[in-house]
Amino acid sequence: MTGSRERDREDATMTDPEVQLVVCPDGPLLVRGAIDLRDDEGNPIVSRRRTVALCRCGNSAIKPWCDGTHKLLRPHGGPAS
Ligand code: FES
């Protein structure tokens, strides 16, 4: 029988070829594919979209999703995150 800790370790080393992550410079993390997204209490966050944009700047009004606010915060040519 596999314990929870061992299972977590196995999950961390597995990659799903159907899931793609794209880090947008100064913007969101794009997630393409089916993922099991959870909030900080472990509750599922459901999206019907195949591609979602997760806010990385912390300023979105619709967290965890990006609402484009990051574009207003960093002037063009500013340092990359
Ligand atoms: S990354 Fe787009 S609003 Fe935060």
pLDDT in tens, 5-35: 665 555 555 666 799 999 999 999 999 998 9
Which residues line ligand 1 at a C-beta cut-off of 6 Å? 27-28, 55-57, 59-60, 66-70
Question: Which residue from 59, 60, 66, 58 is spatially nearest to 29, judged by alpha carbons?
Answer: 66
With respect to residue 32, please indicate whether it lies within any of the assigned structural domains: yes
- Domain count across the chain: 1
- According to DSSP, residue 53 is labeled E
Q: Average model confidence (pLDDT) for the chain?
A: 83
Q: Tell me phi and psi for residue 35, to 5 degrees.
A: -130, 160
Per-residue model confidence (pLDDT) at position 15 = 64
With respect to residue 64, please indicate whether it lies within any of the assigned structural domains: yes
With respect to residue 14, please indicate whether it lies within any of the assigned structural domains: no
With respect to residue 4, please indicate whether it lies within any of the assigned structural domains: no
Domain with 30 in it: 19-73
With respect to residue 9, please indicate whether it lies within any of the assigned structural domains: no
Average pLDDT over residues 37-56: 94
With respect to residue 45, please indicate whether it lies within any of the assigned structural domains: yes
Q: How far is the CA of 6 from the centre of ligand 1 (A)?
A: 34
Would you place residue 1 in the very low, low, confident or very high pLDDT band (cuts 50, 70, 90)? very low
Q: Do residues 31 and 54 make contact, with C-beta atoms less than 8 angstroms apart?
A: yes
Q: Which tokens go with 33?
A: 């594919």
Average pLDDT over residues 36-48: 94
Q: Do residues 66 and 58 make contact, with C-beta atoms less than 8 angstroms apart?
A: no
Q: Do residues 61 and 70 make contact, with C-beta atoms less than 8 angstroms apart?
A: no
Average pLDDT over residues 36-60: 95
With respect to residue 12, please indicate whether it lies within any of the assigned structural domains: no
